[in-house]
Amino acid sequence: MHCLECTTTDTRREAAAVCSACGAAACPTHTHELRTEVWSQSIGNPTVRVVRRLHCSECARLEAHRAPTPSPTIG
């Protein structure tokens, strides 16, 4: 499998990841790691987990311009 973004510039590089947003293949140069907090609520035990998501350059750019979601209040 080859990187989608490299093929648009007539370059062929092997893909190292698949974008978790759009499913495009991406080489190490065009792969971006985004870390987000995932909140889960259970009775008396709210927890926060940090998850890693791999995105292609285009999806990473779109994610950077998206408005951040507020964290839930624990109280």
Structural domain includes residue 73: no
Structural domain includes residue 21: yes
Please report the pLDDT score of residue 30 as a whole number: 96
Please report the pLDDT score of residue 33 as a whole number: 95
Please report the pLDDT score of residue 74 as a whole number: 55
Nearest-CA neighbor of 2 among 30, 22, 21? 30
- Against a cut of 0.85, is the pTM above it? no
Q: What is the pLDDT along the chain (75 residues), one digit of tens a residue?
A: 999 999 998 899 999 999 999 999 999 999 999 998 888 888 888 888 999 999 999 999 998 887 566 655 555
- Can you tell me the distance from the alpha carbon of 8 to that of 37, in angstroms, rounded to the nearest whole number? 33
Structural domain includes residue 37: yes
| Total domains, the chain | 1
Q: Which domain holds residue 28?
A: 4-65
Structural domain includes residue 75: no
Structural domain includes residue 39: yes
